[in-house]
Amino acid sequence: MIGTLHVYENEAAVFHAAAEKFVSLANSAIAAGGRFTVALSGGSTPKGLYELLTLDPYRGQVAWDKVEWFFGDERSVGPDDPESNYRMAREAFLLKLAVPPERTHRIAGESEQPSAAAAQYAGELAQTFGLATDGPPPTIDLVLLGMGSDGHTASLFPFTAALNERAKWVVANDVPQLHTRRYTLTVPVLNAAACVLFMITGVGKAKVLQEVLEGPREPERLPSQLIAPGDGRLLWYVDRAAASRLES
Ligand code: 6PG
């Protein structure tokens, strides 16, 4: 297994542990370099963490105006669509923490030109990090990820083209199994992160978590196995239900 596994009693305990890690990483990054860069996960699980960060004690523990918010992936929808990861984050915490709009970098999922929208987002990453998009990827301080029951993470879905992208930082990824297109940070960007934190909860993830962590390496079928940012920088925060099939 790559990374460090932390098993918590229940989902609430996962969120509290993730909030404490978030605060710790944020304060270290802000102390060291004056800002904290985060790539947010979508779906439903992380909403519990996002809402928790707006409450005491966590709300008062971070200089929120020094955080740059990015998204690990986005659906092909606009910012007000119920499916939008940006909308979920905006409603769960961005509005509540009065995050300055210029610090929130959303993916233009509504775009009619998917490749241009992906390139534009890569450009926004490059500008924030003072890099060139044809060079090495940025080191995002914290990448939050979830995992689907099919083993996908971000919008790196099984057997899709984005899994093999090693040059571009952001791509529009056709996902035939969902009859849709998704925008996603690519493996080089995710693996360049200073810290990657998976939050995985519920018995419905138990089988796939066991396969990803303990099964044979099959990254085309289990894209979460592609995430390997380096020792000590990959954290798996799971609850007992999700861990219930693990042998180790
Ligand atoms: C998305 C997410 C996606 C998510 C997984 C797990 O856009 O849906 O970025 O990768 O993390 O689908 O979602 P849950 O944690 O809600 O099960």
- pTM of this structure: 0.98
The alpha carbon torsion through 101, 105, 110, 112 (nearest 10 deg) reads 120
What integer is the mean pLDDT of 9-25? Answer: 98
Give me ligand 1 centre to Cα 87, in Å.
14
For tokens 């990657």, name the residue.
196
Give me ligand 1 centre to Cα 46, in Å.
8
What integer is the mean pLDDT of 84-110? Answer: 96
Residues 76 and 47: their CA atoms lie apart, in Å, by 20
Instruction: Express each pLDDT in 81-93 by its tens digit.
Output: 999 999 999 999 9
Instruction: Express each pLDDT in 173-201 by its tens digit.
Output: 999 999 999 999 999 999 999 999 999 99
Lining residues, ligand 1, CB within 6 Å: 41-45, 72-73, 85, 146-148, 152-155
Tell me what pLDDT residue 232 has. Answer: 59
Instruction: Express each pLDDT in 128-166 by its tens digit.
Output: 999 999 999 999 999 999 999 999 999 999 999 999 999
Residues 142 and 108: their CA atoms lie apart, in Å, by 22
What integer is the mean pLDDT of 37-62? Answer: 98
Question: Are 197 and 210 in contact, with CB atoms under 8 Å apart?
Answer: no
Residue 195 is which amino acid? C
Question: Are 55 and 158 in contact, with CB atoms under 8 Å apart?
Answer: no
Residues 30 and 127: their CA atoms lie apart, in Å, by 19
